[in-house]
Structure 1
Amino acid sequence: MALTRRAFTLGAIATAGLTASGLAINPQAASAATYTAYLKTYFTESPDHSASNYGLHLAVSRDGLNWSPLNQNNPVATPTAGERGLRDPYIFRKQDGTFVVVATDLYGIDFSRSSQYLHVYDSTDLTSFTGYRRIRMHTYTNVHTWAPTVFWDAGRGQYAIVYSANTTADLFLVNYTSDFRTVSAPQTYFSPGFPILDADIKVDGGVTYMFYKNMSNGNLYGARSNTGAPNSFTTYTSGLRQGGAIEGAHLVKRNDGSGWWLWGDSFVPVNNDFYLWGTSNIGANSWSVLNQRDYTPPLNSKHGSIVGITEAEYNGVVNRWGLPSWVRLKSSNFPDYYVRHANHEIRIDPYPFDPHRDQMWRMVPGLADSAGVSFESVNVPGSFLRHSGYVARLDPNDNSATFRADATFYRTAGLADGSWSSFRSYNFPTYYLRHAGYVLRIDPLSSSSSAADRQDATFRVTS
């Protein structure tokens, strides 16, 4: 279906002038702030969909790499109109320093369903999401409106909302807005002659950068424009890919000013739901793959976005929504594997898996010594990780002295990496918790043990 540029009415169309809308503009408000942390938006899915939730989820990170879900990984807002679910939530800091979230109007994985709308929320400081509404982006039949991204077009004095659509081909459309309530007519924004999906767009140093998926070969690419105008982009990077299938590119400028990260979301649940590259120069065709040891996405998270936040915003959002009451243990030498229980056995398995709560633990004061720690299962409360015959098991606490001792460990600096953790047995003080053949047990270890053995006994305590 051909897309033509014509008068377009969605009930009310925004005028071209931003100030005419009455919106106060302070271009310096956001740029003047010092960002000390990051906030991520996402929805959740797991392999059997027992943990799938199509509401707005939030996570925070100090380093931009390792993430803590907020609100116990429950949604902070859920759409009540349209498909009554969202995917691909994109958060953007507006010119006045407040936030807007736009998201795909779709519940679940029936991608044959097409909506003409996007969900929209406003937020002043991330402690609440208000003004829920849907905005109609086009009037095409059987054309989807997926994976929106937002940027400030300084030349136009308006915000651009770019999204994936399938009119004459799989391409990107753009609508301009001053208030995220009324939008201009849709225009073709980028259509390079092959099918594309999932744009993320950032403006830096007067250059507009766009990363996207080439559906013909499954790789992610970067394009750039000196204006950010429709049909003005030139692809300048080689294809990037990790894993079996990748999409959902999202681009993050580091708070420390040292470069950029590019996240890619796996299309199907494989060993890890996200992959990551880094560069010191976004304008160069030079991206390095980050080791999965270096980053931990939020539990069951899927396609979203990341924004830098201030210390006050970080404290406010944590105080409002709360950090997780549970931890996960990530293997050092199998960094896409997490400690979980299965039929009372304690082992490491590649994430994601279901039941996903098998990997969630409450790390509590040691049952035999409060200076140590014990691990209580989240989904089998009252049962703890303990060793028996040197093999780790999940058993109910019988409150015996033997059980309490078997279930108590001292957390130490990681034997293979001091910034990670190892866990020394309370009642076998030269023995450490480690995996062997993917099963957890305790074995005698020290700093002089082999590198492989020390890796087996080293874990990241994460959420």
Structure 2
Amino acid sequence: MKRIHYLFSILLLLSSCSKSVYLFSSFHEPANEGLRFLYSTDGYQWTDLNRTFLKPEIGNQKVMRDPSIAQGKDGTFHLVWTSSWKDDKGFGYASSKDLIHWSSERFIPVMEHEPTTVNVWAPELFYDDETDRFIIIWASTIPSRFERGVEEEKNNHRMYYTTTKDFQTFAPTQLFLDPKFSVIDAVIVKRKPADYVLVLKDNTRPERNLKVAFGKEATGPYTDVSTPFTKKFTEGPSVAKVGDDWLIYFDSYQDKNYGAVKTRDFKTFTDVSAQIAVPEGHKHGTIFKVKKRVLTDLKKASN
């Protein structure tokens, strides 16, 4: 009987260790302090670990904005971020096994082939498990390259991408999305094989809100751009699967707070902003799931 109780205790321990929690990569303005994390057990209520885990050391401005994290099949976490508001032709990169100890930072010059590039904003990582590669998308402005509305030439963005298996070699940069308007802050969501959603910000002056588009492959093409599902002055979408719902978090930057909607089909959206709690000061990052022990170690490192 004692042996049965012992085995049962071990199973409970293993079950507890295998449970997942949500992490939300984060930064605070003016973005010079570095990588932060929020955590949540339910996807709605978030707590700040209240320290930085990686200080930015590269790029023209040496800031860390829009930190995006994805985990590979070997367990390694990969991080990319915006390293400057303008004049950088690439983004920052580092990797970690535990989100505490990080590799040396590197600058990935993805737009160096375009000498007039104004900026490289909000690189977003997506691990494509079907091809075992990472897709990295970002927004850049190349003046006089695309049609525009009332936007200035240096504020007329399109989305670009590259792919990599090892973060040592990268496929040539390609145009990812030209929806015929200025677009930034895009996030790839996989619902099932051959069914992808792109959550994006229409950055044109009349809009400045969030929309979705649909594709059959992670790299697109994405079509059927929706009408907006948020009000004006919203950006930085982050998406999490919570139960049967998809939660889309966003920065209401004019109101200086965070909002969220939930959806099951990416066609109808319910505002759940009153149900979430996001710590003050949190800015644009990526929501991803980790084993509970990863969070336990992060908490220990924060004390």
Q: What is the TM-score of this pair, normalised by structure 1?
A: 0.55
One of 94, 99, 116 as aligned partner of 2:72 = 94
Instruction: Output aligned runs, 1:173-188, within 5 Å.
Output: 173-188=160-175
Greater CA radius of gyration, 1 or 2? 1
| 1:219 lines up with 2:198 in the alignment | no
| 1:124 lines up with 2:111 in the alignment | no
Deviation, 1:34, is 5.3
Post-superposition CA distance 1:75-96 (Å, at most 9, x none): 2111112221110000111122
Q: Is the 8 A contact 1:147 1:198 kept in 2?
A: yes
1:319 aligns to what?
A: 300
Q: Find the aligned partners of 1:153 and 1:68 in 2 and give their Cα distance.
A: 29
Instruction: Output aligned runs, 1:72-221, within 5 Å.
Output: 73-82=50-59, 83-106=61-84, 111=85, 113-139=86-112, 140=114, 141-154=116-129, 156-167=131-142, 168-169=145-146, 170-206=157-193, 207-216=195-204, 217-221=207-211
Deviation, 1:115, is 0.7
Matching residue's letter, 2:24: K
Post-superposition CA distance 1:296-350 (Å, at most 9, x none): 213311111111111211212112224xxxxxxxxxxxxxxxxxxxxxxxxxxxx
Instruction: Output aligned runs, 1:10-409, within 5 Å.
Output: 35-45=19-29, 53-70=32-49, 73-82=50-59, 83-106=61-84, 111=85, 113-139=86-112, 140=114, 141-154=116-129, 156-167=131-142, 168-169=145-146, 170-206=157-193, 207-216=195-204, 217-230=207-220, 232-235=221-224, 237-242=226-231, 244-254=232-242, 257-268=243-254, 270=255, 272-279=256-263, 281=264, 283-292=265-274, 294-322=275-303
3-state secondary structure, aligned to 1:44: coil
3-state secondary structure, aligned to 2:280: coil
Q: Find the aligned partners of 1:148 and 1:101 in 2 and give their Cα distance.
A: 10
3-state secondary structure, aligned to 1:302: coil
Q: Find the aligned partners of 1:123 and 1:235 in 2 and give their Cα distance.
A: 37
Matching residue's letter, 1:321: S
3-state secondary structure, aligned to 1:238: coil
Q: Find the aligned partners of 2:172 and 2:57 in 1 and give their Cα distance.
A: 26
Q: Is the 8 A contact 2:188 2:218 kept in 1?
A: no
Q: Find the aligned partners of 2:158 and 2:18 in 1 and give their Cα distance.
A: 36
Deviation, 1:183, is 1.5
Alpha carbons of structure 1 residues 311 and 154: separation in structure 2 relative to 1, 3 Å: closer
Q: Find the aligned partners of 1:229 and 1:310 in 2 and give their Cα distance.
A: 28
**Runs (5+) with no aligned partner, structure 1:** 1-32, 323-463
Matching residue's letter, 1:57: R
3-state secondary structure, aligned to 1:278: strand
Deviation, 1:142, is 3.5
Deviation, 1:54, is 4.3
Q: Is the 8 A contact 1:174 1:189 kept in 2?
A: yes
Q: Find the aligned partners of 1:34 and 1:78 in 2 and give their Cα distance.
A: 30
3-state secondary structure, aligned to 2:95: strand
Matching residue's letter, 2:261: W
Deviation, 1:53, is 4.2
Deviation, 1:127, is 2.7
Q: Find the aligned partners of 1:187 and 1:212 in 2 and give their Cα distance.
A: 18
Q: Find the aligned partners of 2:296 and 2:177 in 1 and give their Cα distance.
A: 39
Matching residue's letter, 2:168: R
3-state secondary structure, aligned to 1:314: helix
Q: Find the aligned partners of 1:196 and 1:123 in 2 and give their Cα distance.
A: 30
Identity %: 25
**Runs (5+) with no aligned partner, structure 2:** 1-16, 147-156
Q: Which has the higher contact order (CA 8 A, sep 6+)?
A: 2
Q: Is the 8 A contact 1:218 1:241 kept in 2?
A: no
Q: Find the aligned partners of 2:262 and 2:40 in 1 and give their Cα distance.
A: 17
Q: Find the aligned partners of 1:154 and 1:38 in 2 and give their Cα distance.
A: 20
Q: Is the 8 A contact 1:116 1:138 kept in 2?
A: yes
Deviation, 1:155, is 5.5
Q: Find the aligned partners of 1:84 and 1:182 in 2 and give their Cα distance.
A: 23
Post-superposition CA distance 1:331-371 (Å, at most 9, x none): xxxxxxxxxxxxxxxxxxxxxxxxxxxxxxxxxxxxxxxxx
Deviation, 1:156, is 4.6
> Over aligned residues, Cα RMSD in angstroms?
2.0
